[in-house]
Structures are given as structure tokens and as C-alpha cells.
């Protein structure tokens, strides 16, 4: 990649909007080009200063809050008012449909209200769609390139090592779970089903410092957040094995045990 | 709706939506047609959000949903203003004060965050909005496109121009200050 191409992509690079392959190409160019690196630094500083100034501005919203709450008292929620003759029928239909949906969701283990749960559900479906070698055929496999992505998304110099659990041959791609960018790495086992690791800077949508293990459908999702990094592991393992793996991963993060 | 259900819904609204009040107000101060309208814009946003809270899906991104409503409120205000233009004298005075704030920084010192903030006032409302959503609120291009109801390519080009203009503005003022200072 030359300077012209990098300048075209530098904004997408700094906003994490590039795919894994282009991210690596820009990163590799930046390592050898001082001029482009300086441009990136200048833009990052500019963004950082803008963020700092905005965060320093803490608006006093207490009066506005009171005003809004008072106004809400007089403001009805829009609800359609069906004709009286249709009301009972519609209510019955709606209740029946809702009940069926809830039962189906419960049976499928997908009843997960809340943003955090939406991220977990998205990780399960992303794993299911991309865990096969065929689906990951375009993914990054070069260890050095994977390490670079791990640095960018997980602030660690090396892609986490799961060889102690016989998981190897990692393949990486960038994905989006409920609007959050993650590095998605799939590890393969000689006899077991593949395992997915999602690695990204900590998002407000996930709890900090909390270790969570939950079953979704037939998958087990274990999640943790340490040192400003979110980790999610999706597998078909049992709880004990999944916990051992997430703990081993946490230990590989900066400041890990 | 029966009073018990209404009260319950109000509690959910307070928890889910009012939690973003500071973020909305902070953004409105920067993207509303005039800063003095920021509180009105936010109040109108919450009233509209409450009115249509039935359509909000719990668990989806409430902040993005509120932003979308807020930009609709802002667009309505802007189109009303275009129909009935009335530019208050204060606005021009404010701009002059802001300009002197940008120009007056010491070129020997590094650029300060307040100067970057003051410089954003010289960007067009469209460029400022996209800069705020992506850079300050860290929303993805896709989310910003949905909020502003524009194609994702428009978000990218506006953001590119906004960053370039901001950089040029800061560089020009730094150079101008140097020249004025005889450096």
C-alpha cells in the first residue's frame, strides 16, 4: 500500500471501520512511513482533544430533568385505540402471539433482554455463521498479522495461546456485535468443535470486571472484562472447561493474574 | 393505558432513556441551531421519545434511538427557521467571540482542547453533527448514517471534510498567530 492509498483509508483505520486485511495493510505501511504516521498522530490528537473538551463540559441537567419529568405527567404514550368490538379479539391475538414467541424463545434459549445479552446473542450467531474453516477461508491466518490485530483490539502483543487446551490454528476477522467492533478469532481442536474468541476494547454495553457464563441455545458463552478489554468465548464446551479457558485468556491480558 | 402499567412504563423510561440526558444535552449544545435552544431541543426529544416509547425495543440501543429523534427535532427547527428566518444579533457576536478564542492562542503552546472545541463552531451543522456522533460519541458509521438518515458514504465524506476543515482551521490560526507575533 502506498501513501496515497493510506491517506484515503486513514480515517476508516482510526475509526475501526476497515476490514481485517486492510487494517493490517495500513498498519504495516504506518510502521515504515513517518509522514503517514505523523498524519495519523495529528488526527488522533485532534480527535482526542475534542473528546477531552467535550467530557470536561459537564452540563447541569438537574433542572431540565425535573422539567422533563413534569412534562411527561401530562403527555400520554401513543397507543392505538381500536374499536370496542375489535378490542377483545386483538388483545387475545396479541397475547397468544406474544405467548408463542416467548415459549419459542425460551425453548431456543434466546430470551435475553438487555444490551449485554444482545451482545452475547450476537456472538453466538456470529460464531455459528463463521466458525467453520470454509466460512473463515478469507480470514487472517498469518501469526504476525494476527498478533498485530490482537494488539489493536485486545492491547496484547500476541494472539492468545490456547494450545494448553489443544486449540490451535487461529483464524481472525473483524466483526460487529450489536454495533461494537471485535476481533473474532476461531481456534480449532483435533476432536472437538471450534471455539470462538471475541476480543475488543471495553464497551459500556458489557459489565466491567465481571465474569459471566451463560448458556445460549446449545452454546456456552463466557465473558470477562479486564484492563479495558472485553473477552467473549463461545463454545460447545461444558461450564468447567469454558471457565478454565476464559481464566487462561484473562491471565494473558495486560495486568492479568 | 391503566395507571399501574403507565407508572411501570414511566419507570422503564426513566431508567433507559433519561440515563442519556447529559449526553444528549452535551451534544445538543453543539449541534442545535443555536446553543440557547439546546435545552428545548432535548426536552422536545424526550417528549417525542415518551410519546413513542411503545415502539422502542428494550435491549436495543436507546442512545442511538434518542439521537435519531433529537436530529429529527433539530431538522424540524432548522426547516422552520428557513421558512421564517430570524437571525438574532447575538449569534454573530457569539461567533466573533469564538473566533477570537480560536485565534488568540499562544502558538508556542500546543493546541488546547478548548481551542479545538471553539474551532468546531466554524464547521457546517452537517459536518459538526457527524463529527460529534462518530468522534465524541464513538458511534459507528452505520449508526451515524441511521441517526442522520443519510447514506453511509455521506457520513464518510462529511467526516473526512469535517476533520480536514478542523485541522486546516487550527493550522491557519496557528500560522496567523505566528505571523501576527512576528515569528
Q: Find where cell 459500556 sits.
A: A204
Condensed to tens digits (0 to 9), the pLDDT of residues B1-18 reads: 677 777 787 888 888 888
The interface predicted TM-score of the complex, written ipTM, equals: 0.75
Condensed to tens digits (0 to 9), the pLDDT of residues A148-203 reads: 888 888 888 889 999 999 998 999 998 888 778 899 999 998 888 899 999 988 87
Q: Report chain A residues whose CB lies below 8 A from the CB of B13.
A: 72
Q: Are A87 and B62 in contact (CB under 8 A)?
A: no
Q: Report chain A residues whose CB lies below 8 A from the CB of B8.
A: none
Compute the distance between CA of residue A150 and CA of residue A142 in angstroms, rounded to an integer: 12
Full 3-state SS string of chain B = CCHHHHHHHHHHHHHHCHHHHHHHHHHHHHHCCCHHHHHHHHHHHHHHHHHCHHHCCCCCCHHHHHHHHHHHHHHHHHHHHHHCCCCCHHHHHHHHHHHHHHHCCCCCCCCCHHHHHHHHCCCCHHHHHHHHHHHHCCCCHHHHHHHHCCCHHHHHHHHHHHHHHHHHHHHHHHHHHHHHCCC
Q: Report chain B residues whose CB lies below 8 A from the CB of A182.
A: none
Q: Find where cell 444535552 sits.
A: B25
Which tops the pLDDT comparison, A185 or A94?
A185
Average of per-residue pLDDT across A84-106: 67
Q: Are A16 and A181 in contact (CB under 8 A)?
A: yes
Helix, strand, or coil (residue A171):
strand
CB contact under 8 A, B61 and A115: yes
Condensed to tens digits (0 to 9), the pLDDT of residues B20-66 reads: 888 899 888 888 877 678 888 999 999 988 888 877 776 677 888 89
Annotate A94-121 with b (16+ C-beta within 10 A) or e (fewer).
eeeeeeeeeeeeeeeeeebeebbbbbbb
Point out the least confidently predicted range of A3-7, A103-107, A148-152, B83-87.
B83-87
CB contact under 8 A, B51 and A118: no
Helix, strand, or coil (residue A179):
coil
Interface A-B: count of C-beta contacts within 8 A? 122
CB contact under 8 A, B116 and A49: yes
Which tops the pLDDT comparison, A34 or A85?
A34
Point out the least confidently predicted range of A57-66, A83-92, A211-220, B118-127.
A83-92
User: Packing angle between helix A34-56 and helix B113-120, nearest 10 degrees?
Assistant: 90
The model carries a pTM of 0.66
Q: Report chain B residues whose CB lies below 8 A from the CB of A46.
A: 111, 116, 163, 166-167, 170
Compute the distance between CA of residue B147 and CA of residue B73 in angstroms, rounded to an integer: 12
Confidence of residue B87 (pLDDT cuts 50, 70, 90): very low
* Cβ count within 10 A of residue A55: 11
- Which residue, A237, A145, A146, A249, is CA-closest to A195? A237
Q: Tell me what pLDDT residue A121 has.
A: 85
Kindly tell me if the per-residue pLDDT of B103 is higher than 50.
no
Point out the least confidently predicted range of A77-81, A90-94, A172-176.
A77-81
Q: Tell me what pLDDT residue B105 has.
A: 37
* Nearest CB to B50; choose among A43, A64, A72: A72
Give the torsion sign (CA, B175, B179, B181, B183): positive
CB contact under 8 A, B112 and A51: no
Confidence of residue A91 (pLDDT cuts 50, 70, 90): confident
Q: Tell me what pLDDT residue A110 has.
A: 44
- Which residue, A123, A15, A23, is CA-closest to B140? A15
Confidence of residue A107 (pLDDT cuts 50, 70, 90): low
CB contact under 8 A, A77 and B59: no
Cell of A217: 441455545
Q: Report chain B residues whose CB lies below 8 A from the CB of A64.
A: 21, 25, 39, 42-43
Amino acid at each position: 500500500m502506498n501513501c496515497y492509498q493510506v491517506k484515503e483509508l486513514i480515517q476508516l483505520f482510526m475509526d475501526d471501520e476497515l476490514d481485517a486485511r486492510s487494517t493490517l495493510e495500513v498498519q504495516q505501511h504506518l510502521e515504515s512511513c513517518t509522514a503517514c504516521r505523523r498524519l495519523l498522530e495529528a488526527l488522533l490528537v485532534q480527535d482526542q482533544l475534542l473528546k477531552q473538551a467535550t467530557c470536561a463540559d459537564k452540563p447541569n441537567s438537574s433542572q431540565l430533568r425535573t422539567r422533563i419529568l413534569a412534562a411527561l405527567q401530562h403527555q400520554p404514550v401513543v397507543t392505538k385505540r381500536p374499536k370496542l368490538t375489535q378490542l377483545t379479539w386483538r388483545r387475545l391475538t396479541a397475547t397468544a402471539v406474544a405467548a408463542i414467541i416467548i415459549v419459542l424463545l425460551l425453548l431456543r434459549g434466546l430470551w435475553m433482554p438487555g444490551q449485554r445479552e444482545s451482545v452475547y446473542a450476537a456472538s453466538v450467531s456470529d460464531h455459528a455463521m463463521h466458525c467453520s474453516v470454509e466460512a473463515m477461508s478469507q480470514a487472517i491466518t498469518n501469526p504476525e498479522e494476527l498478533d498485530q490485530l490482537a494488539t489493536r483490539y485486545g492491547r496484547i502483543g500476541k494472539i492468545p495461546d490456547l494450545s494448553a487446551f489443544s486449540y490451535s490454528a487461529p483464524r481472525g476477522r473483524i466483526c460487529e456485535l450489536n454495533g461494537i467492533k471485535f476481533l473474532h478469532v476461531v481456534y480449532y481442536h483435533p476432536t472437538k468443535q471450534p471455539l470462538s474468541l471475541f476480543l475488543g476494547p471495553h464497551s459500556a454495553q458489557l459489565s466491567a470486571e465481571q465474569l459471566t457464563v451463560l448458556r445460549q441455545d446449545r452454546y456456552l458463552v463466557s465473558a470477562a472484562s479486564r484492563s479495558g478489554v472485553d473477552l467473549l468465548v463461545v463454545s460447545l464446551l461444558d461450564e468447567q472447561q469454558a471457565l478454565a479457558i476464559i481464566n487462561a485468556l484473562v491471565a494473558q491480558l495486560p495486568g492479568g493474574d | 393505558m391503566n395507571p399501574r402499567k403507565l407508572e411501570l412504563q414511566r419507570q422503564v423510561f426513566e431508567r433507559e432513556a433519561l440515563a442519556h440526558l447529559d449526553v444528549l444535552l452535551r451534544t445538543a449544545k453543539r449541534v442545535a441551531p443555536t446553543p440557547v435552544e439546546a435545552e428545548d431541543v432535548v426536552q422536545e426529544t424526550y417528549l417525542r421519545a415518551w410519546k413513542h416509547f411503545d415502539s422502542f425495543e428494550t435491549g436495543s440501543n436507546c442512545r442511538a434511538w434518542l439521537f435519531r429523534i433529537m436530529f429529527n427535532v433539530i431538522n424540524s427547527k432548522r426547516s422552520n427557521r428557513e421558512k421564517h428566518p430570524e437571525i438574532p444579533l447575538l449569534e454573530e457576536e457569539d461567533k466573533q467571540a469564538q473566533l477570537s478564542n480560536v485565534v488568540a492562542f499562544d502558538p508556542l503552546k500546543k493546541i488546547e482542547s478548548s481551542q479545538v472545541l471553539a474551532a468546531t463552531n466554524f464547521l457546517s451543522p452537517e459536518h459538526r453533527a457527524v463529527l460529534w456522533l462518530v468522534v465524541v460519541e464513538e458511534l459507528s458509521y452505520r449508526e451515524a448514517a441511521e441517526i442522520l438518515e443519510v447514506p453511509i458514504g455521506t457520513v464518510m465524506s462529511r467526516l473526512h471534510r469535517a476533520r480536514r476543515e478542523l485541522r486546516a482551521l487550527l493550522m491557519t490560526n496557528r500560522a496567523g498567530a505566528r505571523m501576527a507575533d512576528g515569528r
